[in-house]
Amino acid sequence: MMTPFLIVAGVAALFVLGPVLAMRPSPRQAQLARLRARAVAAGLRVRVEAGRSRESVVDYVLPWRLDDLPQVRGLRLLLRRGTDGSWEDAEFLAAPAGILREVCEAVPAGVSGLRSVGEGLAAQWNEKGRDEDVERIRDALLGLREAVIARAAQEEAARGARDIRT
């Protein structure tokens, strides 16, 4: 007598718990949410663009500070990691080569590009790594931002000196 009741109760429990369990995020989705929340807490913005392949393009962006905007107007910076792991400069670089080398060595292996975008400096990342990699990306972008700003200030000072002489 008890067996049919247990079967009915079990099936009812499956109908109730099944949809609830199906809504739980996968481990990968949970990791992405954790990485992106950590990035926001570290002062980065996360931009996700749907790509042609299954994977999307994800940029972790360090925004420009308002007082830096005049110096970086028109800045074009693009570095790409080649298939062999080496970095190639694809656009005009506004930072000293030594700083670029340090930044490129500091980012996690999953970072495939560093570039300037309208709102700041971006690291294109596959988000396959550890939670600490978010801080590595932030620190590398901070170093790159400081180098770019310093270089722009030097160029502006040199232009000002030339203007005074003429």
The whole-number pLDDT of residue 90 equals 60
Record the pTM: 0.77
Q: What is the pLDDT along the chain (166 residues), one digit of tens a residue?
A: 568 877 877 777 777 777 777 777 888 888 999 999 999 999 999 999 876 666 677 999 999 988 877 877 878 888 888 888 888 876 655 556 677 788 888 999 899 999 989 899 999 999 998 999 999 999 999 998 888 888 777 777 777 666 565 5
At residue 113, what is the residue type? G
| C-alpha dihedral, 135 to 33 to 108 to 64, nearest 10° | -50
The whole-number pLDDT of residue 22 equals 72
The whole-number pLDDT of residue 42 equals 95
Cα maximum dimension of the chain: 105
Rounded-to-integer distance, Cα 113 and Cα 140, Å: 12
